[in-house]
Chain A
């Protein structure tokens, strides 16, 4: 961002303060620094942070930004893992932290209307007493926001049985780049016509800013059972996963953690994972009492074939929570093993688990960087986490290269670039691994149907154009020509 551009944005501070209130515009150097990161390794320097409290305020901010051609990035809790909330091109960051109200709960029709800054777990806690919950449960659910979940189409352990964010969002109010406020999907309009709701979910803030969300609520299951199974090697555990899924079973969740993760999680929360194990599986079943019991017997029998070191069953809520606490906290807990981790997100066909994990292990040995593996094993979603120290020269470059290599392995095994964290800054340059020029040109058409100026979260999703043959977003727009959609 050039000096004159910087100055231009700084000059807008009084106007922004008029819109959202003077306490909620930050532009001190120290304050900006606190908004330069997310939960991963990318960084960017916003010029000003605003914290609006309504769609109207956001609309005014977007209009102002557009009239000065200033990029705008929406931010939830900054727990993302692919750089989605990073102000790569400077500009304005709109923090949703103050738009955190649950506006309506309709228990009979089983939906709730919430603001984007509502914390994922807070929603389930709020509707819990009515026997309801919100199904998508990213491991960061204690901190991450529903708005952020929409941007990244987030998943979570229980998405194996219940699906990801897009399967649980009925409709939403959005502000478009020109400041107009509209509604996509059900509730206020019916769901007929183009599925603009579906297009927006997972668009990583590049199409619109979501300001109100109608989410589906599910009835809490009658019975829940969580099983912990420890195996001597990660190969045994992987084989057990293949066995369970192969037998046609779909548990609510089926998670795997390797020995690094077991160690970190044990130190962090003392979840009671057996420390000598090479890998553990966490299997959760829910539903009617009888079916859960029947399925758990069957799963136990399947796992016994692969020589488990230990099988432990948690029946009551407290025991279950303890087993889950290790899994949900494991990522942050890796901070106990190294100052930084780089969490890679990719998916593979479940039948390739053993082979891919072997390749990742070889990569780790070759490069000298430890790689901790945690997996949503049931749906083949890998999260290899490369441990490093960002203060060591060369470390960041090296681990990024390793991450890219892991993604190449995933795609070559028939998988995809991201299971649930989004593309963001992190994987934009790997997009050509999966998508042809024509594919990306088509996506660009969608983007320019929403805006041609490329001010909403610019520099994300599409390749940067650094690589040979890549189509950058800007170039794609240039090729089609602004206004071509009219």
Chain B
């Protein structure tokens, strides 16, 4: 094959996956960055065209090329609508991983990356200290002073924006200590639950609500010790090495029981990552088959509760509720009906569809921090549609979406609450007015 030698390869890309794209353009209308900008350079088809051109030696990996790849939120909505079955997630993930070498990154951003994504997120103890400090900053009133004086604007606009994203801490930390939460009835199935990284620290209350809801579905919930971050954020920013390390640790942590319990995940992004551990570790001889088995056990909490035919409690919630699809639940795990079914099953709720609910909100893990302008532009459309929907509550299934929507709602000054589907279910059992 003469032509094979003439073509410069991107060694990391699986050619048979890359050339599945026949540039039909069906992905354009699913892509949040294309819809926001109207630029094909910010579309899945465009990003793939750039991969192909680099692969064929027609184009160098310039800053401009990387910029277009970086601006991908990795919501993978394109994958869901692609008739050719292009595994876009694999392509962009491995591309992001490999182009790290081509980047000219300043000392400060590199340090920020090293600290946050290699030493904080993956390490619950370190992360807990930082979250406690952030909580102190908010609760002590220092945040108010900082915001009032606009002092951060003097340092940099980016820093000011970052400060606005300081997550509120909801209740005590939820720690994974191998504890078991038992249902009221005896002889029930035991399931294992992912605790994760940021969510158990900033959203302890929501974690506990999820556990109570699982108990109501008559499941005993075990939260295995030594588990941690799923690796999604690292994969996202192109650090597959660290992601693999985290994946191996979780596979070990969840193998201590019978090794067959369903692993319930209440964060869509983590669920998606864990369902693809099989692919992530496919070249690891020690873990390849373990990872495949592990991935089969992973189930999103909404899907699990819907299949378990959970009966909500008797407390009515007389509100108009809409649902924003969490991209990695809808597009990767293909779970679209379950959260809606659960919401609709609650007494008193008037469910309305959100226009464009299948389009990403712009959160994208750390995307909202690394690409604030695009993230905010994508979010703006979401908030417009949310206002039009007339909903009192917007439900979602992932902490990133939760935070992003919450920030957008606060910035717009509208009166809408963000909740997880499991929060709503939990309220039907616990609240009585």
A140 to B25, CA, bound (A): 8
Q: With A329-B83, A332-B84 given, is the CB distance from A30 to B38 under 8 Å?
A: no
| Chain B positions within 8 Å of A333 at CB level | 83-85
| Chain B positions within 8 Å of A117 at CB level | 38
Stretch of B16-24, B149-157, B176-184, B204-212 with 4 or more beta carbons under 8 angstroms from chain A: B16-24
CB neighbors of B among A54-86 (8 A): 77-79
A219, CB-defined interface residue at 8 Å:
no
Considering the complex, give the chain B residue whose CB is closest to the CB of A325: B83
Hey, what's the 0/1 contact readout for A114-136 against B, CB within 8 Å counting as 1?
A: 00010100100000000000000
A335 pairs with B85, CB closer than 8 A: yes
A33 pairs with B59, CB closer than 8 A: yes
B349, CB-defined interface residue at 8 Å:
no
Hey, what's the 0/1 contact readout for B42-77 against A, CB within 8 Å counting as 1?
A: 010110011001000011001011001000000000
B64 pairs with A39, CB closer than 8 A: no
B7, CB-defined interface residue at 8 Å:
yes
Hey, what's the 0/1 contact readout for B241-257 against A, CB within 8 Å counting as 1?
A: 00000000000000000
| Chain A positions within 8 Å of B138 at CB level | none
A33 pairs with B84, CB closer than 8 A: no
A30 pairs with B62, CB closer than 8 A: yes
B38 pairs with A329, CB closer than 8 A: no
Question: Within the complex, which residue of A24, A340, A393 is in contact with B3, where a contact is CB–CB below 8 Å?
Answer: A393
| Chain A positions within 8 Å of B7 at CB level | 391
A117 to B28, CA, bound (A): 13
A143 to B44, CA, bound (A): 13
| Chain B positions within 8 Å of A329 at CB level | 26, 83
B185, CB-defined interface residue at 8 Å:
no
B82, CB-defined interface residue at 8 Å:
yes
A335 pairs with B84, CB closer than 8 A: yes
A330 pairs with B83, CB closer than 8 A: yes
B41, CB-defined interface residue at 8 Å:
yes
B81, CB-defined interface residue at 8 Å:
yes
A34 pairs with B50, CB closer than 8 A: yes
Q: With A142-B81, A331-B83, A391-B7 given, is the CB distance from A34 to B41 under 8 Å?
A: yes
Considering the complex, give the chain A residue whose CB is closest to the CB of B81: A142
CB neighbors of A among B78-99 (8 A): 81-86
B46 pairs with A79, CB closer than 8 A: no
Q: With A33-B53, A34-B49, A340-B22 given, is the CB distance from A332 to B39 under 8 Å?
A: no
| Chain A positions within 8 Å of B46 at CB level | 34
Question: Within the complex, which residue of B19, B43, B59, B85 is in contact with A267, where a contact is CB–CB below 8 Å?
Answer: B85
A144 to B43, CA, bound (A): 15
> Could you tell me the distance in whole angstroms from the C-beta of A114 to the nearest C-beta in chain B?
15
Q: With A119-B29, A142-B81, A335-B84 given, is the CB distance from A30 to B68 under 8 Å?
A: yes
A187 to B221, CA, bound (A): 66
B2, CB-defined interface residue at 8 Å:
yes
Considering the complex, give the chain B residue whose CB is closest to the CB of A392: B3
- Number of interchain pairs (Cβ within 8 Å): 121
Considering the complex, give the chain B residue whose CB is closest to the CB of A36: B49
Query: Total interface residues on B, using CB and 8 Å?
Result: 37
| Chain A positions within 8 Å of B27 at CB level | 143
| Chain A positions within 8 Å of B41 at CB level | 26, 30-31, 34
A268 pairs with B40, CB closer than 8 A: no
B83 pairs with A97, CB closer than 8 A: no
Task: Identify which of B7, B22, B27, B50 gathers the most chain A CB atoms within 10 Å of its CB.
Answer: B22
Hey, what's the 0/1 contact readout for B322-334 against A, CB within 8 Å counting as 1?
A: 0000000000000
B50 pairs with A33, CB closer than 8 A: yes
> Could you tell me the distance in whole angstroms from the C-beta of B306 to the nearest C-beta in chain A?
18
B50 pairs with A143, CB closer than 8 A: no
B62 pairs with A98, CB closer than 8 A: no
| Chain B positions within 8 Å of A143 at CB level | 24-29
A334 pairs with B22, CB closer than 8 A: yes
A100, CB-defined interface residue at 8 Å:
yes
| Chain B positions within 8 Å of A140 at CB level | 24-26
A332 pairs with B22, CB closer than 8 A: yes
Hey, what's the 0/1 contact readout for A305-346 against B, CB within 8 Å counting as 1?
A: 000000000000000000000000111111110011100000
CB neighbors of B among A75-113 (8 A): 77-79, 95, 97-98, 100
> Could you tell me the distance in whole angstroms from the C-beta of B13 to the nearest C-beta in chain A?
14
> Could you tell me the distance in whole angstroms from the C-beta of B3 to the nearest C-beta in chain A?
6
B23 pairs with A336, CB closer than 8 A: no
| Chain A positions within 8 Å of B23 at CB level | 37-39, 78
Considering the complex, give the chain A residue whose CB is closest to the CB of B22: A335
Question: Within the complex, which residue of A26, A30, A78, A391 is in contact with B25, where a contact is CB–CB below 8 Å?
Answer: A78
Instruction: Enumerate the 5 nearest inter-chain pairs by beta-carbon distance, A residue then B residue, closest first.
Output: A335-B84, A332-B83, A97-B38, A329-B83, A34-B46
Q: List 10 A-B contacts (CB under 8 A).
A: A30-B64, A34-B45, A39-B23, A39-B24, A144-B25, A334-B22, A334-B84, A335-B20, A392-B3, A393-B3
